[in-house]
Amino acid sequence: MDNQKKSEKRKSGLEMMDAVYGEGFSDRLKENNSLIVNETLEHLFASVWSRPNLSIKDRRLLIIGVTAATGKRETLKIQALGALKNNELSPDELREAALHLAYYAGWEKGMEATQAFEEAIRSLNEK
């Protein structure tokens, strides 16, 4: 891929990342040109997240399920913040998701999700 196309994919990836997590989220990555950041922006966000058959909310719910099942609390918090900032999920919907996940991913993981979601809700309310 030539440099102009890579630059366009990167820009598109940064824009999609902000659409997913809220305006300004991508600012901390703009100067980072590491291999993993470039692939994340140019492939995951510019090509995968932007595909038409699932909405951002649909994709976010998939990620919430996977990250809850694997116990990735910080990622759950990031996803919850994105969902709240984009008005995709309300605090009550996140709480309901944590309860539902507890039955499928395990009670402990449901509790972790609850804690991550409550942290996200509090942090958004503090701003």
pLDDT, position 127: 66
**Confidence label for 124 from pLDDT (cuts 50, 70 and 90):** confident
Handedness of CA 27, 28, 34, 38 (dihedral sign): negative
Tell me what the mean pLDDT of segment 86-98 comes to. 96
pLDDT, position 5: 87
> How many domains, the chain?
2
Amino acid at residue number 125: N
Question: Mind spelling out the 3-state secondary structure of 40-98?
Answer: HHHHHHHHHCCCCCCCHHHHHHHHHHHHHHHCCHHHHHHHHHHHHHCCCCCHHHHHHHH
Kindly state whether residues 117 and 70 are assigned to the same domain: yes
Supply φ then ψ for residue 31, to 5 degrees: -95, -5
pLDDT, position 6: 83
pLDDT, position 85: 94
Kindly state whether residues 61 and 120 are assigned to the same domain: yes
Kindly state whether residues 30 and 64 are assigned to the same domain: no
pLDDT, position 39: 93
What gap in Å lies between CA 75 and CA 38, rounded to an integer? Answer: 19
CB 120 within 8 A of CB 81: yes
Kindly state whether residues 8 and 62 are assigned to the same domain: no
What gap in Å lies between CA 56 and CA 12, rounded to an integer? Answer: 15
Kindly state whether residues 41 and 78 are assigned to the same domain: no
Q: Which comes out higher in pLDDT, residue 56 or 6?
A: 56
Tell me what the mean pLDDT of segment 73-92 comes to. 96
Range(s) of the domain holding residue 17: 3-48
**Confidence label for 1 from pLDDT (cuts 50, 70 and 90):** low
Kindly state whether residues 70 and 121 are assigned to the same domain: yes
pLDDT tens-digit map of 29-52: 888 889 999 999 999 999 999 999
Kindly state whether residues 60 and 122 are assigned to the same domain: yes
